Amino acid sequence: MELIIVKGDITKIPVDIIVNAANSSLLGGGGVDGAIHRAGGPAILAECLEIRARQGECKTGDAVITTAGRLPANKVIHTVGPVWIGGQNEEEEKLKNCYKKSLQIADDYGAKVISFPCISTGIYRFPKRLAAELSLEVIKSYKCRILEKIIFVCFDEESYDIYHNLLDS
């Protein structure tokens, strides 16, 4: 499996599945979540509303899949990362679950290429280096059945440098 790190806008990269760092409401918000909802259009929100009607909000560490609307992808996996409160609330395990569940859904869907943002490192304040270490740990240990390429899309230079340094070491 190929692992690629890029700096850019996750809504512009053609893939089978884009992972969204969603909030539990699934209704869009700021950061990556808002960007994905804006770029993808109302079809994403409509499916999120259907999911909420069936199951309620999405729990931290869990994930659901919807259409990608106008995005250059087939589907969006919405996963809810943990808010960092000092590491005392199982934040590391919850973040790892975001990646595990997203990979499982992507494999089940038959995706070959998936893109991930840096989950929980924005307004949820998860330490960027720790988040990168955990995401790479999960991805390197996951036994993909179908996935061929995973793209980490870093919005800022600091995250991009962290991922590159971790992969180079």
Domains of the chain: 2-168 (3.40.220.10)
Q: How large a percentage of the chain has pLDDT more than 90?
A: 95
Average confidence score pLDDT of the chain: 96
pTM for the whole structure: 0.97
CB neighbours of 33 closer than 8 A, spacing ≥ 6?
20, 21, 22, 23
Cα angle value 82/164/126 (rounded, 5°)? 15
Give yes or no for residue 26 having a pLDDT over 90.
Answer: yes
Distances (CA, A) of 53 to 25, 50, 60: 11, 5, 18
Backbone angles phi, psi at 154, to 5 degrees: -95, 130
pLDDT in tens, 118-169: 999 999 999 999 999 999 999 999 998 899 999 999 999 999 999 999 998 8
Which residues are registered as beta bridge partners of 113?
149
Give yes or no for residue 5 having a pLDDT over 90.
Answer: yes
pLDDT on residue 41: 97
- Identity of residue 64: V
pLDDT on residue 169: 81
Alpha-helix residue ranges (DSSP H) falling in the chain? 31-40, 42-55, 91-109, 128-141, 157-168
Distances (CA, A) of 60 to 38, 70, 89, 91: 23, 26, 11, 9
Residue 4's pLDDT band (cuts 50, 70, 90): very high
Which of 9, 33, 62, 168 is an active site residue?
Answer: 33
Residue 107's pLDDT band (cuts 50, 70, 90): very high
Give yes or no for residue 37 having a pLDDT over 90.
Answer: yes
- Identity of residue 13: I
CB neighbours of 2 closer than 8 A, spacing ≥ 6?
148, 149, 150
107 is catalytic: no
Distances (CA, A) of 66 to 75, 137, 140: 6, 26, 26
pLDDT on residue 144: 83
pLDDT on residue 168: 86
